[in-house]
């Protein structure tokens, strides 16, 4: 079977499934049959009676149970009955990821084009996250961004090295990455100026910690240190989104800013208790060196707001383990979205089957970031028995101190990596979420 193409047909109605083959145990009562004969193996199934997020997960459970067949590496996907385009496209994207592009839609050429385009963006995102951290360094990120800018009309790039960052007072970014020679501090920016576009740009900012040891407060094994090459997932997502929009000739001006470095242990590493003043002139006490992502984002937000004067900023970061602990392995918390963007993302997530949850600003989360020695500390805490709660929300509010421009922050720690081992379409490592939702919302 290793050279076979699995013929996967999804039926809207169980009554339409042929009776040949053998039943396959499915999730939540979905019907499934496997037909093995002289030709290609055929898998026939219905979808779970839930929303698309649940349908994606349930179908993946079924496919996991017939892994010997799915391991063929090629899947031909068809639908029978009233299954809408969005559902089929999202399922096909999962299969595209699972088979390294080996999913075909022979009866759906228009949808196949969408799957190829979005799948390429997700592939780029996942490759960056999965790549060895000694290869996917700040220097490699800068090299890839500048190469794309040189090859693409309307795109320009700018890279600030340590000397320039110090001159620009980006001391928070320099503090986090100051001990790294392999992946030293860089602020990597690219701008898209399409013909005829006017007005302020939209700025995308992605956290690019290429490996996070935790610094002097070194991560224990139980804190996922062996997986911390994924701590540049925000940079990978911001770049994949920017590039996909540029290649689609997005009509709006765009900027992507990637603060990137490694958070190492070394003689020049930042110390707990140090007070560092960044680009905006706000002093921050380093209470814990493993709360480093918000520090590099702070300088990028302040510098980028001054340099590009965007009308809105979207930040993406694997910012807090609390996002996984609080929301589970598939959810993505989105903080501070305005009504229009929240509506667009909710509609898009309904079409893509990705699980987004929205949270407003709250004064107690903002004030939890205050410090007695400095203006802020990098480990916000609520008072009393609530002290260990709301880590994702507290960290999001930290970022708002560093720009007056409307900011929407997405904490992707829980969803960008396959923590549960059963994320649809994903193997070990990066999932590609929630790129397809943001791309759909911004392409509408």
The set of catalytic residues is 219, 294
Q: Calculate Rg over the CA atoms of the chain.
A: 23
**Residue 26 to residues 29, 31, 76, 422, Cα–Cα distance (Å):** 6, 7, 20, 15
30-35, long-range: CB within 8 Å, 24+ apart, which pairs? Answer: 30/58, 30/62, 32/62, 34/66, 34/69
Give CA–CA dist 231/321, Å, rounded: 11
Q: Measured over all CA atoms, what is the biggest interatomic distance in the chain, rounded to whole angstroms?
A: 75
Write down how long the chain is.
Answer: 444
CA angle 7, 8, 11 (to 5 degrees): 135
E strand spans, 24-161: 32-35, 42-46, 74-80, 103-104, 155-160
258 contact partners, CB below 8 Å, separation of at least 6:
141, 145, 186, 187, 188, 189, 205, 206, 208, 235, 238, 239, 300
Cβ atoms of 90 and 57 within 8 Å: the answer is no
Helix pair 435-443, 109-130: axis angle to 10 deg: 130
Of 193, 312, 309, 310, nearest in space to 246 by CA: 193
Look at residues 358, 444, 348 and name the one whose alpha carbon lies nearest to residue 408: 358
CB atoms within 10 A of CB 352: 27
Cα angle value 275/281/284 (rounded, 5°): 25
Q: What share of the chain is helix, strand, coil (3-state, %, to 5)?
A: 40, 20, 40
């Amino acid at each position: 079977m290793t050279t076979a193409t699995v013929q996967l047909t999804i039926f809207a109605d169980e009554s339409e499934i042929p009776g040949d083959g053998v039943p396959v145990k499915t999730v939540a009562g979905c019907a499934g049959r496997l037909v093995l004969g002289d030709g290609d193996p055929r898998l026939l199934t219905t979808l779970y009676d839930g929303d698309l997020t649940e349908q994606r997960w349930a179908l993946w459970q079924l496919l996991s149970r017939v892994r010997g067949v799915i391991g063929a590496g090629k899947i031909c996907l068809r639908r029978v009955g009233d299954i809408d385009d969005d559902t089929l496209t999202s399922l096909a994207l999962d299969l595209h990821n699972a088979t390294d592009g080996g999913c075909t839609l022979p009866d759906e050429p228009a949808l196949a084009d969408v799957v190829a385009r979005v799948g390429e963006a997700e592939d780029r995102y996942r490759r960056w996250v999965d790549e060895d951290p000694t290869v996917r360094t700040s220097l490699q990120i800068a090299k890839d961004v500048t190469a794309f800018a040189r090859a693409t009309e309307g795109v320009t790039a700018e890279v600030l090295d340590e000397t320039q960052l110090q001159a620009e007072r980006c001391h928070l970014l320099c503090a986090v990455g100051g001990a790294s020679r392999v992946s030293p501090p860089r602020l990597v920016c690219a701008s898209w100026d399409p013909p005829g576009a006017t007005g302020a740009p939209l700025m995308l900012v992605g956290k690019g910690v290429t490996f996070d040891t935790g610094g002097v407060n070194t991560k224990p094994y139980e804190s996922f240190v062996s997986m911390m090459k994924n701590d540049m997932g925000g940079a990978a997502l911001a770049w994949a989104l920017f590039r996909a929009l540029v290649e689609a000739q997005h009509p709006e001006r765009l900027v992507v800013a990637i603060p990137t470095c490694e958070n190492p242990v070394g003689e020049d590493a930042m110390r707990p208790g140090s007070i560092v003043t960044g680009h905006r002139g706000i002093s921050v006490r380093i209470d814990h060196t493993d709360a480093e992502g918000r520090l590099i984002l702070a300088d990028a937000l302040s510098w980028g707001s001054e340099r590009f004067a965007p009308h809105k900023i979207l930040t993406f970061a694997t910012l807090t383990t609390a996002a996984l602990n609080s929301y589970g392995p598939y959810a993505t918390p989105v903080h501070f979205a305005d009504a229009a963007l929240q509506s667009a993302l909710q509609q898009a997530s309904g079409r893509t089957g990705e699980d987004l949850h929205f949270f407003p600003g709250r004064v107690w989360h903002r004030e939890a970031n205050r410090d007695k020695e400095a203006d802020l500390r990098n480990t916000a805490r609520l008072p009393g028995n609530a002290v260990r709660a709301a880590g994702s929300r507290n960290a999001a509010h930290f970022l708002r101190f560093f720009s007056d421009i409307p900011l929407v922050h997405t904490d992707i720690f829980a969803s960008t990596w396959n923590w549960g081992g059963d994320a649809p379409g994903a193997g070990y490592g990066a999932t590609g979420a929630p790129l397809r939702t943001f791309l759909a919302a911004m392409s509408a």
